Amino acid sequence: MLQNKDPINVIITGVGGQGNLFASQILGQMLLQKGYLITIGETLGLSQRGGSVMSHVRASKRETLPPLIPEGLCDLVLALEPIEGLRILGSYGHPDVLTITNTRPIMPMDVLAGQAEYPELEVVLEKMNELSRRVWTVDATDLALKMGDPILANVIMLGALGGLKILPYDVRTFETAIREFFPDDRLTTNLEAFNQGRTSVKAI
């Protein structure tokens, strides 16, 4: 769906500790295999500690782009956490943006403490829908927990994106990319997670 666009601007967002950066690296590697020039802008540092995290993944066949996507020019949001997805739409969204979101909220500290409210998931999805051309959901964390490790949610999300064929990659591209990071014994779990995502993504 975005194959014909150049550049392709993707933002992967979530909460520190969700494996956001890893997901962006894998996505970058996969697109690199497909002949794109890649730049990824990451936010490391303090935000790793439970703060909002985003990575900008930029792909172009023509040129190497700078690491930040200009505001209002994101083509695709991959949200590992719902309100983080909404937050990205706030600055980087535009009427044609595509959004894929995990359904599992992570409560900000202020919400836990009762000083702020976390909206109902339906409300977040409704807002996302209003701000995107299309929205898909994945119960990524729940699936990952069933598989025994919540961190797999990031790979499940990549699987979901792969399943939608929005970007030019499939499970084989994924396998090649992930081989650079993991020994064989972790490979099967990751492939399984990818496939879980591919088959459980739902349009709203």
Q: Which residues bind other proteins (CB under 8 A)?
A: 15-17, 24-25, 28-29, 32, 37-47, 49-52, 64-73, 83-84, 86-87, 89-91, 93-95, 104, 106-114, 116-119, 123-124, 127, 130-131, 141, 144-145, 150, 180
DSSP 100: E
Q: Pairing state of beta strands 98-102 and 76-79?
A: parallel
In this structure, what token pair is assigned to residue 150?
């919540």
What sign does the dihedral 17-53-15-98 (CA atoms) show?
negative
Q: Helices in 93-152 by DSSP H: which ranges? A: 109-112, 121-131, 140-146
What's the closest the beta carbon of residue 144 comes to other proteins, in angstroms? 8
Smallest separation (angstroms) from other proteins to the CB of 111: 6
CB of 131 to other proteins, least distance (A): 5
Q: Which two tokens stand for residue 139?
A: 């119960």
Q: Which is nearer to other proteins, 25 or 196 (CB)?
A: 25
Q: How far is the CB of 97 from other proteins (least distance, A)?
A: 9
